Amino acid sequence: MTRNLFKISIVAASFALLSSAVAADPTASDDGWTVAPPDVADVLPDRLAAMTEALRAKRFESITSVVVARHGRIVYEQYFDAEPAGDSPATETGRDALRNTRSATKTVVGMLIGQAIADHRIAGVSAPVLRNLPKRYARHGAETPRKAAIRYEDLLTMSGPLECDDWNEWSRGNEERMYLLEDWLDFYWTLPLRGFPEWQPKPADSPYGRAFSYCTAGVVSLGAAVEGATGEPLDRYAERRLFAPLGITRLHWQRLPLGTPMAGGGLGLRSRDLLKLGQLYLQGGVWNGKPLMDAAWVQQSLSPKARMPDGTNYGYLWWLHQLKSADGRTLGTAAMNGAGGNSVQVIPALDAVIVITSTNFQIRNAPKLTFQLLTEHLLPALPDSAPPAAGAASGDTPRH
């Protein structure tokens, strides 16, 4: 009998330890977020606890942070790089670390184009891109009229007419070739026109009338075009029209060889600030009750405009997924995705945003690990439910 009671005590203690692994409750701060502990929020704490243990055990390799907001409040926040490994030099870790989420921050350029359109600096997505680039690049349009006709929407949807494909190592426009040169804009605009042999679908025969081809160089050009249209450096315009209104004060832009901010990815942001970008779009351009972006632009950005070869739809630099949760639900999400499995997932049906940051850059098929984390742990931890009463969340204006 004593032995059985001892076993029961061990089991109970183990269960208590697992439940406590959900983490310290999300940390309150003055960064504009409100928080709610998992035991009172609309989540399943035991599922989050099991996920935390799996992440600490490195079952998903080097995931560095997971932050979840539901109904406008942070309900889960954990950092898995809090201690530098071994004898490696100390680096900034934890909540204040700036996360290099690679191409996930391409989406920021789409946000800034929306702001520039709202500011009447860009006529619209049908405006030609070359018109807003420095004059030295105008020769490309003069020599090839089809280049002069390249529109913002072509590059926002990864469906421009130039031969540029980061997913094809043989492509003339593969980003790795760009990184070897000094002038990245000239690299893009000197690319040849893309060809469509009989065995490849032409744009007219493709979903939404666009042939998808993932091209970082095109997004670099979008960043330069925003500078030309607004008359401000990209980083300053981003601070004034996006980051400062969101209370984002700590960030780091990588620079092109010629010194301008890199629009194609690598923008360093804190995990909680990445979460703000997702929440902004979840709420139709509203943050903390204040409209910061045109709701119509948000809706347009999250609507399918092109389709990838695997069937995933794509908006204006947003990935549009259909995720099958382990509990049987299929949920539509809009995502900012980057190499290594970095992801910001906006899930309208659950009124939730999830940030996953990672350094799985050398892991084969790292995005698969991120999607397993989402479908096996995070989505099942967020049950279907009605949102809380008005005023209970940080963003208490109804979402779009």
Amino acid at site 56: R
pLDDT (0 to 100) of residue 21 = 43
Question: Per-residue pLDDT tens for 17-57?
Answer: 444 444 446 888 889 999 998 777 789 999 999 999 999 99
- Which pair of structure tokens corresponds to residue 149? 């006709």
Residue 83 has pLDDT above 80, yes or no: no
Residue 247 has a pLDDT of 98
pLDDT at 85 over 50: no
Mean pLDDT over 231-251 rounds to 98
Q: What is the dihedral of CA 382, 385, 389, 391, to 10 degrees?
A: 30
Cα–Cα distance measured from residue 336 to residue 345, given in angstroms and rounded to the nearest whole number: 7
Mean pLDDT, the chain, integer: 90
| Helices 45-56 + 2-20 axis angle, to 10 | 90
Q: Where are the domains of the chain?
A: 24-85+92-97+274-279+304-400, 106-245
**The pLDDT of residue 15:** 40
Kindly indicate the confidence band of residue 388, based on its pLDDT and cuts at 50, 70 and 90.
low
CATH fourth-level superfamily of 106-245: DD-peptidase/beta-lactamase superfamily (3.40.710.10)
Q: How confident is the model at residue 238 (pLDDT cuts 50, 70, 90)?
A: very high
Helices (H), 166-242: 175-178, 184-189, 216-230, 234-238
* Contact partners, residue 262, CB within 8 Å, separation at least 6: 220, 223, 253, 254, 255, 256
Taking Cα atoms as reference points, which of 194, 169, 193, 174 lies closest to residue 184?
Answer: 174
Position 14 scores a pLDDT of: 42
pLDDT of amino acid 41: 74
Asked if the model's pLDDT at residue 391 lies above 70, the reply is no
Average pLDDT value for residue range 225-240 = 98
246-255, 337-346, 383-392 — which is least confidently predicted? 383-392
pLDDT of residue 10: 42
Res. 387 pLDDT band, cuts 50 70 90: low
Distance CA 127, CA 125 (A): 5
